[in-house]
Amino acid sequence: MHLEYTVIEGDFVNAGSASSSIKKTLKQLNVNPSIVKRVVVALYEAEVNAIAHAYGGVVTADIDAGKILLRVIDKGPGIPDIDWAMQEGNSTASPEVRNMGFGAGMGLPNIKKNVDRLNVQSTVGVGTTVEMEVNLS
């Protein structure tokens, strides 16, 4: 099953729409609730990152019997130092984003804690692809 969603820059009102939709789908597929929670946490963090730090993007989910593969592909400034960005508390969020309660520097670390495989590819000035895989059994 392939699902696709659009993420719009600065659209914090709809942040989490893709993760909510995928949560509903996984529940309908009778996926273990603890696995559903991990998927939703990871994807929500990636969605918010695309909304807060990039110029929007696309979320895709490919679900099969054994795993879910999620990709958040954004067109944004890119991440100059992925190792730095993976450390808790490190954030480049603007003061406006922080005032809304986002940008604490926990996005990528929370994603890593909740997925079985994480791959972050980024090119400065082009964008970032966050690929997450979670085993469903």
Per-domain boundaries in the chain? 2-135
CA 100 to CA 85: how far, in whole Å?
Answer: 20
Q: How many CB atoms lie under 10 A from the CB of residue 137?
A: 8
pLDDT digit string, tens, across residues 82-137 = 898 888 777 776 667 666 666 656 678 889 999 999 999 999 999 999 999 999 98
Q: Tens digit of pLDDT for each residue in 11-35?
A: 888 888 999 999 999 999 999 999 9
**Domain 2-135: which CATH class?**
alpha beta
Residue written as tokens 């995928």?
A: 22
> Please, are residues 26 and 68 in contact by the beta-carbon 8 Å criterion?
yes
This prediction's pTM? 0.87
Which tokens hold the place of 92? 């480049």
Angle between helices 33-53 and 107-114 (to 10 degrees): 160
